[in-house]
Amino acid sequence: MQYSKVEICGVNTAKLKVLKESEKTELLKRMKDGDASAREQLINGNLRLVLSVIQRFSNRGENPDDLFQVGCIGLMKAIDNFDVTQNVRFSTYAVPMIIGEIRRYLRDNNSVRVSRSVRDTAYHAMQVKEALINKLGRDPTVEEIAKEMDKEKEEVVLALESIVEPVSLYEPIYSDGGDTIYVMDQIGDKVTDESWLEEIQLKQAIKELPQREKRILYLRFLMGKTQMEVAKEIGISQAQVSRLEKCAIKQIKGQ
């Protein structure tokens, strides 16, 4: 999937105009006053924003032209719903809208089909959740959402899980000075009886490591704790745990 192509949906991306924040604000005000041409200028002036967003989905194997068109729908929704009286940059508001539109498209076109009734339940639950957040001033529980919808908790949970997009274990979630923490680093692993041989081998391999690295590997791979849990127990940051863990594993592999 090539995003470096010059033309997407007949649009020459090399010549896309970029609006200044002050220009966006002025056009938004004109649009709210009924100037139809201002809306068109806003769309054309933010196509590069759409282009930058769809690059995040470059590993999905989707046609970039399709994603670009869907992203433009998200952009238009952002333009039509943006409140110029709020002290928020337009791009800050628009990017989540564009991402949301693309994710909905990917969910609805996923090879693993979810029935329309289940999707409707999930979307209704999301709307109820937003309403309850505004009402309660906090995130509602699943029980509260289910009660508001007059449905069983299990039905709501299954519906919401059915539209959750799968996440790669190697997807980065945080980076600190080049030390990237991935989804897999956040997941603990339970030790089973069948893993006793690997446990013995690991114990032998880490004998020569410094005490702190030895402790980290013990907690991570023998106790099955997450990096966050290890960081809290040892008293260092999760990024440091990640860095020390990788260095220790590299040293063991070298041996």
Task: Give the pLDDT of residue 5.
Answer: 46
* Contact yes or no for 226/188 (Cβ under 8 A): yes
Tell me how far CA of residue 152 lies from CA of 129, 146, 158, 159, 241, in angstroms: 15, 6, 10, 11, 41
Structure tokens belonging to residue 124: 């209704």
Report if residue 78 sits inside a domain.
yes
In the block, tokens 């100037």 appear at 35
User: What residues pair up with 181 in beta bridges, in sequence order?
Assistant: 174
Q: Within a 10 A sphere around the Cβ of 48, how many other Cβ atoms?
A: 14
Report if residue 2 sits inside a domain.
no
Residues 6+ apart with CB under 8 A from 138: none
- Examine the domain organization and report whether 181 and 132 are in the same domain: no
Tally the domains of the chain: 3
- Examine the domain organization and report whether 66 and 88 are in the same domain: yes
Report if residue 167 sits inside a domain.
no
- Examine the domain organization and report whether 221 and 193 are in the same domain: yes
Task: Give the pLDDT of residue 114.
Answer: 59
CA–CA separation, 255 and 74 (whole Å): 53
Residue 227 has pLDDT above 80, yes or no: yes
Question: Where is the domain boundary, 90, 108, 126?
Answer: 108
Q: Which domain holds residue 122?
A: 116-162
Task: Give the pLDDT of residue 201.
Answer: 64
Helices (H), the chain: 21-32, 36-44, 47-54, 64-81, 90-108, 116-136, 142-149, 153-162, 196-205, 211-217, 227-234, 238-254
Residues 6+ apart with CB under 8 A from 181: 172, 173, 174, 175, 227, 238, 239, 242
Q: What is the pLDDT of residues 42-92, one digit of tens each?
A: 888 888 888 888 887 776 677 788 888 888 898 898 888 888 787 778 888
Residue 9 has pLDDT above 60, yes or no: no
CATH number at residue 142: 1.10.10.10
- Examine the domain organization and report whether 68 and 127 are in the same domain: no
Residue 184 has pLDDT above 70, yes or no: no
- Examine the domain organization and report whether 81 and 36 are in the same domain: yes
Task: Give the pLDDT of residue 147.
Answer: 92
CA–CA separation, 48 and 44 (whole Å): 9
CA–CA separation, 242 and 216 (whole Å): 9
Report if residue 218 sits inside a domain.
yes
User: What residues pair up with 182 in beta bridges, in sequence order?
Assistant: 172
- Examine the domain organization and report whether 97 and 189 are in the same domain: no
Tell me the whole-structure pTM to 2 decimals. 0.43
- Examine the domain organization and report whether 96 and 25 are in the same domain: yes
Report if residue 1 sits inside a domain.
no
Structure tokens belonging to residue 215: 């402790």
Q: Which residues of 93-130 are buried (b: 16+ CB within 10 A; e: fewer)?
A: ebbebbbebbebbebeeeeeeeeeebbebbebbeebbe
Distance of alpha carbon 39 from its chain centroid, rounded?
A: 29
Report if residue 146 sits inside a domain.
yes
Q: How confident is the model at residue 94 (pLDDT cuts 50, 70, 90)?
A: confident
Tell me how far CA of residue 16 lies from CA of 11, 52, 96, 103, 161, in angstroms: 8, 12, 21, 24, 38
- Mean pLDDT of the residues in the chain: 76
Report if residue 88 sits inside a domain.
yes
